Homo-oligomer: A and B are copies of this chain.
Amino acid sequence: MKNSQLYKGSLNTIIMKLLEENGKMYGYEITQKVKAITAGELNITEGALYPALHKLEAEGILDVEIEKVDNRMRKYYKLTEAGEKETINRLSELEDFIRNMQSLVNPKPSLEF
């Protein structure tokens, strides 16, 4: 998609935040949710999403649970306890990042008269 370079490196944080908020989600659901929240501006590709989910699972951040709905497979992911702790750190990093980027883009004028 037309995703700018800027989103690179933010995928894990996005996934973890969504799972923190919604309890459990499956891959396709995550892509649709992100598209909806960002009004179509950010489209997570499957080639990025699935490897990322598998990696987070391997790291013990996520747990999987397979369900069959309408004869179609769904793999629901949710945060482990370790994952919840890590999510707190990631969100804090995200806040710092946003604050820093805003400082760079919108520097405080020096206090002169």
Using a CB–CB cutoff of 8 Å, the interface residues on chain A facing chain B are 4-10, 12-14, 17-18, 21, 34, 37-38, 41-42, 91, 93-98, 100-105, 107
CA distance A21 to B107 in the complex (A): 10
- Known contacts: A41-B96, A96-B41. The answer to whether A10 contacts B101 by CB under 8 A is yes
CA distance A107 to B37 in the complex (A): 8
Contact among B5, B17, B107 for A105, CB-based, below 8 A: B17
- Known contacts: A91-B105, A94-B105, A105-B17. The answer to whether A100 contacts B38 by CB under 8 A is yes
Which 3 pairs show the lowest CB-CB distances between chains A and B? A8-B9, A5-B9, A6-B97
CA distance A17 to B101 in the complex (A): 11
